[in-house]
Amino acid sequence: MMAAGGGMESTPAAERMTEGRQRYLRAMLDVQFDGGKWLSQFDDGPQLLQRVVLASAPVTEPPPGTQGMELIRHLVLDPAYQLK
């Protein structure tokens, strides 16, 4: 419905949706990810990280010495990642 000022009339359902969106946005601001800390559990080598990220052996082996986020980027581009 159009209000006298030309805008949309506020309904209880619309207000609840707006409040829900605002709660969701506030909650998402509280989500934090520490990539370095997460990757530190795979310090034993890339094989464990590959087993966690890929459903099978990688089609293309990562270049020797690749580690950290560069290794993750390489693995998620591998066709085996699509299987998981």
Residues 40-70 pLDDT 10s: 888 877 888 898 899 899 999 999 988 888 9
Structure tokens at 33: 């990810």
| pTM for the model | 0.57
75 touches 53 (CB < 8 A): yes
What percentage of the chain exceeds 70 in pLDDT? 88
Grade residue 1 by pLDDT with cuts at 50, 70 and 90: very low
Largest CA distance in the chain: 69
Residue 7 domain-assigned (yes or no): no
Number of domains in the chain: 1
- Tokens 């094989």 -> residue: 47
- Domain holding 37, by residue range, is 12-83
Rounded Cα gap, residues 18 and 10, in angstroms:
10
Q: Within a domain: residue 5?
A: no
Could you tell me if residue 4 is inside a domain?
no
Overall average pLDDT of the 70-74 stretch: 91
Which 8-state DSSP code applies to residue 9?
P
Each residue of 3-41: pLDDT tens digit? 555 556 678 888 888 888 999 999 999 888 888 888 888
